[in-house]
């Protein structure tokens, strides 16, 4: 080519070589489409659905727990039933609520893989799936929480929940003091994803 000199651009996603797992997934998907088990539209629709899930749903559930003790009691019994009351479709996988108290701080992990209540909280953060988080939070939870900026006092017990089987978890944080006048929607805005994993606490800064 004359008259042109190459400009190094950002790499396209196809520039690297495929991993074995990517090749397997693409091959299996192509086979199942060809065998009419599902259509490409089904795959796109499913991916779109999972991408549409966000921690906002979980935050709504927590805010309702803060404003309605009877609802909170039902959620402690069954998160799935509580979600239905709010019109949320979180499927049939059992989700269990673990509530923070002045004496107990809860934090979630899945040491075996990356189990997470995706329908309620959206996709899990990358660090939640990392080997470092998964191996360290069961071994030295206080040090890990401290790296998240969360120093748990000695008179509060740290309780780590390792989600190894059929149950998924959500942490119910305590309502921050001084927020009693806020609406349920405003309260939900204080509840971040990490608050429901247990690596953060809701914070309220008065305007």
Partner 1 sequence: MAKEWPIVNRYRVGDPVTVRAHFPSGHARAPFYTRGHSGEVVRVTGPFRNAEERAYGRTGARVPLYRVQIRQRDLWPDYVGSSGDTLVVDLYEHWLEPGDRR
**Known active-site residue 195:** no
Contact range with partner 1 by CB under 8 A, out of 21-29, 32-40, 66-74, 132-140? 132-140
Q: Which position among 67, 118, 162, 174 is part of the footprint of partner 1 (CB under 8 A)?
A: 162
- Does position 166 bind partner 1 by CB under 8 A? yes
Size of the site for partner 1 (CB under 8 A): 24
**Known active-site residue 65:** no
Catalytic residue from among 2, 52, 114, 195: 114
**Known active-site residue 115:** yes
Taking phi over 0 as left and psi of -120 to 50 as alpha, with beta for the rest, 202 belongs to: beta
Residues 6+ apart with CB under 8 A from 152: 105, 142, 145, 158
Q: Which position among 147, 157, 180, 186 is part of the footprint of partner 1 (CB under 8 A)?
A: 157
- Does position 141 bind partner 1 by CB under 8 A? yes
User: CB of 124: closest distance to partner 1 in angstroms?
Assistant: 17
Say if CB 107 and CB 142 are below 8 A apart.
no
User: CB of 8: closest distance to partner 1 in angstroms?
Assistant: 45
Q: Which position among 139, 180, 184, 185 is part of the footprint of partner 1 (CB under 8 A)?
A: 139
Q: Which position among 22, 164, 183, 185 is part of the footprint of partner 1 (CB under 8 A)?
A: 164
Query: Which tokens belong to 53?
Result: 């899930």
Query: Rounded distance, CA 141 to CA 162, Å?
Result: 12
157 three-class SS: strand
DSSP 113: S
The CA–CA distances, whole Å, from 56 to 123, 160, 196 equal 12, 23, 11
User: CB of 168: closest distance to partner 1 in angstroms?
Assistant: 10
- Does position 42 bind partner 1 by CB under 8 A? no
DSSP result, 19-54: PHHHHHHHHHHHHHHHTTSS-HHHHHHHHHHHHH--
**Known active-site residue 110:** yes
**Which residues belong to the active site?**
110, 113-115
Q: Kindly list the residues in this chain that would bind partner 1 in the complex (CB under 8 A).
A: 94, 96, 111-112, 138-143, 154-167
């Amino acid at each position: 080519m004359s008259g042109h000199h190459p400009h190094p651009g950002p790499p396209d996603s196809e520039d690297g070589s495929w991993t074995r797992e990517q090749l397997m997934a693409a091959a299996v998907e192509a086979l199942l489409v060809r065998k009419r088990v599902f259509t490409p539209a089904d795959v796109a629709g499913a991916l779109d659905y999972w991408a549409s899930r966000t921690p906002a749903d979980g935050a709504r559930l927590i805010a309702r727990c803060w404003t309605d003790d009877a609802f909170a009691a039902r959620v402690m019994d069954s998160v799935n039933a509580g979600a239905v009351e709010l019109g949320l479709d979180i499927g049939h996988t059992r989700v269990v609520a673990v509530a923070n108290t002045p004496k107990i701080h809860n934090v979630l992990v899945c040491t075996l893989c990356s189990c997470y209540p995706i329908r309620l909280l959206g996709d899990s953060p990358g660090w939640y799936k990392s080997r470092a988080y998964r191996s360290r939070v069961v071994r030295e939870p206080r040090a890990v929480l401290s790296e998240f900026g969360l120093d748990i006092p000695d008179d509060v017990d740290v309780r780590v929940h390792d989600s190894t089987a059929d149950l998924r978890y959500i942490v119910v944080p305590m309502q921050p003091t001084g927020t009693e006048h806020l609406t349920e929607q405003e309260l939900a805005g204080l509840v971040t994803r990490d608050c429901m994993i247990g690596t953060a606490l809701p914070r309220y800064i008065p305007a």
